């Protein structure tokens, strides 16, 4: 980056601070918040300066006067109401409506002339289609009302880490964008259709962010696993019960790897198919999308086949952290459920870094260049 001072940011719904880690040491966190006690404790454990800027509590209890001025606001608001697996309550839902607590603060900062130049809103892909696209249109509408232009990118963390985790990143700005617009592999069909559904007045504010694709990922699921001797394995009967839940095609995939010999690692999820519970396995080197461990089927299982033996076990919190791109130095809660909650609700660190390098930092460089020219 060209600027002398590091850019600053506000991180709302910060969780364990994964967006902060992704932005990197070249950025200054001016403020962060989360209302969840476990995540707040994890944030404090990982950032020595948390006492200076971290606020534990409901976003609706905050006021703009308590917030510092910053270049960027990042918001990863609760996604359950947008999830394809959830009730799809949308922006009116009890959890995703927390977005409006955040937006009330942005409007107040704007009224004070202190609104951030760039806003990033990260959420599940269901945001694009929730309520037939009405929620996404409403989001674009409030951004436009405050003078922001905006665009969306659908980025799967699987391009960076061995976890399939598609997420939508809505990037909004008041800064010049001409040099940052263009085609991108992250303009998926879902993004294109969401943009096409917008009314003409909002389409006029749309930006097709030209974010490039990253280099090919060179790691797979097996690389992030703990040593076999260091983890707890399911008893054989539980593994057999898991295999019995597989449809013929998935069971055949297991048998093929048993016959092939050697070692193979697969990720298994339990799903409801046609009213029946099924176990589905993938051997493509990717884990499925990590989820928070609020239900039995949400816990991801590993299937390890070696020398004709099939074993199974649950993903550990440390493995989950690695799948999110976190370093092993990142401090997780001691309880497994709490650790999986923190990582399952987070944003993949390398995705944030790529977005920062490819788009956010160049955007703020354009601001610096404009000010220097005045």
Residue 366 predicted with pLDDT over 90: no
Write the pLDDT tens digit of every residue in 39-74. Answer: 999 999 999 999 999 999 999 999 999 999 999 999
- Arithmetic mean of pLDDT over the chain: 92
**Same domain, yes or no, for 172 and 30?**
yes
Residue 369 predicted with pLDDT over 60: no
**Over pLDDT 90: what percentage of the chain?**
83
Q: What integer pLDDT is reported at residue 123 of this predicted model? A: 93
**Same domain, yes or no, for 46 and 88?**
yes
**Over pLDDT 70: what percentage of the chain?**
90
In a domain, 323, yes or no: no
Q: What integer pLDDT is reported at residue 298 of this predicted model? A: 58
Please state the rounded mean pLDDT for residues 255-262. 95
CATH number for 25:
3.40.50.150
Write the pLDDT tens digit of every residue in 334-354. Answer: 999 999 999 999 999 999 999
Q: How far is CA 326 from CA 22, 149, 164, 282, 322, in A?
A: 9, 32, 16, 23, 5
Q: What integer pLDDT is reported at residue 81 of this predicted model? A: 61
In a domain, 249, yes or no: yes
Tokens of 323: 């799948």
Prediction pTM value: 0.93
**Same domain, yes or no, for 168 and 94?**
yes
**Same domain, yes or no, for 89 and 14?**
yes
Listed in order, strand segments (DSSP E) in the chain are 8-12, 28-34, 54-56, 72-75, 118-124, 149-156, 166-173, 263-273, 276-282, 301-306, 309-314
Within 218-295, residue ranges assigned H as helices are 236-244, 248-260
- 53-74 burial, b at 16+ Cβ within 10 Å, e below that, comes to bbbbeebeebebeebeebbbbb
233 or 90, higher pLDDT: 233
In a domain, 333, yes or no: no
**Same domain, yes or no, for 265 and 138?**
no
Instruction: Assign 100 a pLDDT band (cuts: 50, 70, 90).
Output: confident
**Same domain, yes or no, for 356 and 298?**
no
Q: What integer pLDDT is reported at residue 350 of this predicted model? A: 98
Please state the rounded mean pLDDT for residues 123-127. 92
Please state the rounded mean pLDDT for residues 105-109. 96
Write the pLDDT tens digit of every residue in 6-51. Answer: 999 999 999 999 999 999 999 999 999 999 999 999 999 999 999 9
Q: What integer pLDDT is reported at residue 313 of this predicted model? A: 97
Q: What integer pLDDT is reported at residue 109 of this predicted model? A: 98
Q: What integer pLDDT is reported at residue 2 of this predicted model? A: 46
Q: Identify the domain boundary among 270, 297, 315.
A: 315
On whether the CB atoms of residues 207 and 150 are closer than 8 A, the answer is yes
Query: How many Å apart are CA 189 and CA 128, to the nearest integer?
Result: 11
**Same domain, yes or no, for 83 and 157?**
yes
**Same domain, yes or no, for 201 and 270?**
no
Check residue 167 and give left, alpha or beta (phi > 0: left; psi -120 to 50: alpha): beta
Write the pLDDT tens digit of every residue in 127-153. Answer: 999 889 998 999 999 999 999 999 999
Query: How many Å apart are CA 300 and CA 288, to the nearest integer?
Result: 8
In a domain, 338, yes or no: no
- 169-190 burial, b at 16+ Cβ within 10 Å, e below that, comes to bbbbbbbebeebeeebebbbeb
In a domain, 322, yes or no: no
**Same domain, yes or no, for 101 and 139?**
yes
Q: Is 270 exposed, middle or buried (0-12, 13-18, 19+ CB in 10 A)?
A: middle
**Same domain, yes or no, for 93 and 200?**
yes
The total domain count for the chain is 2
**Same domain, yes or no, for 132 and 35?**
yes
Write the pLDDT tens digit of every residue in 289-314. Answer: 998 765 444 578 999 999 999 999 99
In a domain, 145, yes or no: yes
Write the pLDDT tens digit of every residue in 72-99. Answer: 999 998 766 655 445 556 666 666 578 8
Residue 227 predicted with pLDDT over 70: yes
Q: 168 CB contacts (<8 Å, ≥6 apart)?
A: 122, 123, 124, 125, 127, 128, 152, 153, 154, 191
Structural domain span for residue 349: 8-215+343-373
Q: Give the bridge partners for 168, in sequence order.
A: 123, 154
Rg (CA), the chain: 22
In a domain, 176, yes or no: yes
**Same domain, yes or no, for 358 and 261?**
no
Token pair 């399952």 in the structure block, residue? 344
Please state the rounded mean pLDDT for residues 259-272. 92
Token pair 């490039």 in the structure block, residue? 212
Query: How many CB atoms are closer than 10 A to CB 1?
Result: 16
H or E element in which residue 302 lies: strand 301-306
Chain length of the chain: 374
Q: What integer pLDDT is reported at residue 90 of this predicted model? A: 65
In a domain, 329, yes or no: no
List the one residue out of 109, 93, 101, 91 whose CA is nearest residue 34.
101
């Amino acid at each position: 980056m060209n600027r002398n001072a590091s850019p600053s940011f506000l991180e709302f719904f910060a969780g364990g601070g994964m967006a902060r880690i992704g932005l990197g040491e070249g950025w200054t966190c001016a403020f962060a918040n989360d209302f969840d006690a476990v995540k707040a404790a994890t944030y404090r454990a990982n950032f020595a300066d948390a006492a200076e800027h971290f606020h534990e509590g409901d976003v609706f209890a905050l006021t703009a006067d308590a917030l510092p001025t910053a270049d960027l606001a990042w918001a990863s608001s609760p996604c359950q109401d947008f999830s394809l697996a959830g009730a799809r309550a949308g922006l009116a839902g009890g959890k995703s409506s927390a977005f409006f607590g955040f937006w009330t603060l942005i409007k107040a900062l704007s009224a004070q002339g202190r609104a951030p130049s760039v806003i990033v809103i990260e959420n599940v892909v269901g945001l694009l289609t929730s309520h037939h696209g009405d929620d996404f249109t409403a989001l674009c509408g409030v951004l436009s009302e405050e003078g922001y232009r905006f665009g969306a990118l659908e980025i799967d963390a699987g391009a960076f880490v061995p976890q399939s985790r598609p997420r939508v990143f809505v990037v909004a700005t008041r800064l010049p964008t001409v040099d940052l617009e263009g085609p991108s592999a992250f303009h998926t069909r879902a993004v294109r259709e969401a943009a096409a559904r917008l009314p003409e007045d909002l389409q006029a504010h749309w930006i097709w962010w030209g974010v490039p694709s990253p280099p090919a990922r060179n790691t797979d699921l097996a690389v992030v696993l703990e040593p076999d001797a260091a983890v707890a394995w399911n008893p054989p009967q539980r593994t057999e019960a898991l295999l019995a839940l597989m449809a013929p095609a998935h069971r055949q995939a297991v048998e093929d790897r048993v016959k092939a010999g050697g070692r193979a690692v697969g990720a298994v999820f339990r799903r409801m198919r046609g009213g029946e519970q099924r176990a589905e396995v993938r051997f493509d080197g990717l884990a499925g999308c990590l989820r928070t461990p609020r239900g039995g089927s949400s816990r991801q299982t590993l299937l390890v086949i070696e020398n004709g033996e099939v074993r199974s076990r649950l993903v550990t919190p440390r493995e989950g952290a690695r799948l999110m791109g976190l370093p092993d130095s990142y401090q997780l809660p001691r309880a497994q459920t709490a650790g999986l909650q923190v990582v399952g609700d987070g944003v993949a660190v390398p995705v944030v870094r790529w977005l920062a390098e490819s788009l956010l930092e160049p955007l703020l460089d354009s601001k610096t260049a404009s000010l220097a020219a005045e």
